[in-house]
Amino acid sequence: EPEVTQTPSHQVTQMGQEVILRCVPISNHLYFYWYRQILGQKVEFLVSFYNNEISEKSEIFDDQFSVERPDGSNFTLKIRSTKLEDSAMYFCASRPTDGSYGYTFGSGTRLTVV
């Protein structure tokens, strides 16, 4: 079964450093998403991406965040200057445009900011 692949699975970074979280969505999916889950809390929407542009972003997704689809397969989330409160699990998801609403999530990247 097709999977959404996220790398790395765990990243530790120092406060103020830039991080890039990588995702390879399912190949025939055209909608892409990033979510985050702070430990013990609910899953929060960050941003959706379609047709090579952001279609929606949440209040969390401020100027420190950016997304990019640098090639035909990768979808990245960049945090420019990490803060302690950015420590969370980050999930990438994708879905097709066939009306099935088959959202598929990756296994996540655990980001720890120290």
Partner 1 sequence: AQSVTQLGSHVSVSEGALVLLRCNYSSSVPPYLFWYVQYPNQGLQLLLKYTSAATLVKGINGFEAEFKKSETSFHLTKPSAHMSDAAEYFCAVSDLGNQGGKLIFGQGTELSVKP
Contact with partner 1 (CB under 8 A) among 1, 14, 27, 42: 42
With binding defined as CB under 8 A, does residue 59 bind partner 1?
no
Contact with partner 1 (CB under 8 A) among 11, 13, 76, 104: 104
Contact with partner 1 (CB under 8 A) among 56, 78, 80, 114: 56
- Between CA 106 and CA 63, with CA 18 as vertex, the angle to 5 degrees is 85
| Tokens (6 digits) for 77 | 């989330």
Given the rule CB under 8 A, which of 21-29, 59-67, 76-84, 104-112 is the region that contacts partner 1?
Answer: 104-112
With binding defined as CB under 8 A, does residue 98 bind partner 1?
no
From CA 89, how far away is CA 2, in angstroms rounded?
22
Minimum CB distance to partner 1 smaller for 14 or for 101: 101
Q: How many residues appear in the chain? A: 114
From CA 93, how far away is CA 78, in angstroms rounded?
16
From CA 103, how far away is CA 114, in angstroms rounded?
32
With binding defined as CB under 8 A, does residue 52 bind partner 1?
no
| Tokens (6 digits) for 44 | 């929060």
Site residues (CB under 8 A) for partner 1? 31, 33, 35, 42-45, 48-50, 55-56, 91, 93, 95, 99-108
